């Protein structure tokens, strides 16, 4: 399996494990202010992308892990953010990832943080039809994740 999907699975599993173990025990230190109610709709509205949909850059790791990440949300206009996200993973580029017939995992779709991790047959972790099924299941079960194909994104 490739590094990006493993990272998504590990983070998701860690979050679930913490929740199951710690639960909502209310053991936040007393000096910490907590927000009693969070308006989820207000938060989503604040993170909603308002500009045109475009790819601001990509992180190509096809040769190492059969993945390439497109940075779509406007947060990625900040080159430092993209460099930080791509460092030690792949090659940062201003261009979009190569076309992927297999699809990819869209995270934060429609938000300023949107990115799409495309998967490829090429590279050491090469995907095939069977492994794409599992990758799409992992993606669709991640919070705010959705498996997409390039034709799904044509507006």
Position 128 in a domain: yes
pTM for the model stands at 0.70
Give 128's contacts (C-beta < 8 A, 6+ positions apart).
121
Position 142 in a domain: yes
pLDDT by residue for the chain (155 residues), tens only, comes to: 455 655 555 555 555 445 545 444 555 455 556 556 766 666 666 667 666 678 999 999 999 999 999 999 999 998 899 999 999 999 999 999 999 999 999 999 989 999 999 999 999 889 999 999 999 999 999 989 999 998 888 76
* 12-23 core/surface letters (b: 16 or more CB in 10 A; e: else): eeeeeeeeeeee
**Paired strand residues for 61:** 67
Number of domains in the chain: 1
Cα separation of 19 and 64, whole Å?
33
Region label for 57, one of left (φ > 0), alpha (ψ between -120 and 50) or beta (otherwise):
left
Position 71 in a domain: yes
Domain that holds residue 75: 50-155
């Amino acid at each position: 399996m490739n590094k990006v999907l493993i990272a998504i699975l590990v983070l998701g599993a860690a979050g679930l494990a913490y929740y199951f173990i710690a639960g909502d025990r209310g053991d936040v230190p007393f000096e910490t202010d907590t927000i009693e109610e969070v308006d989820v709709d207000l938060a989503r509205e604040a993170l909603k992308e308002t500009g045109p949909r475009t790819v601001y850059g990509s992180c190509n790791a096809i040769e190492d892990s059969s993945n390439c990440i497109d940075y779509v949300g406007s947060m990625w206009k900040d080159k430092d953010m993209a460099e930080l996200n791509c460092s030690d993973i792949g090659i940062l580029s201003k261009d979009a990832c190569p076309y992927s017939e297999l699809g990819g995992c869209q995270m934060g779709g429609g938000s300023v943080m949107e990115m799409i991790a495309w998967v490829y047959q090429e590279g050491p972790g090469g995907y095939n039809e069977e492994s794409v099924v599992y990758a799409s299941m992992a993606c669709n079960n991640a919070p705010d994740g959705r498996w997409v194909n390039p034709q799904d994104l044509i507006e």
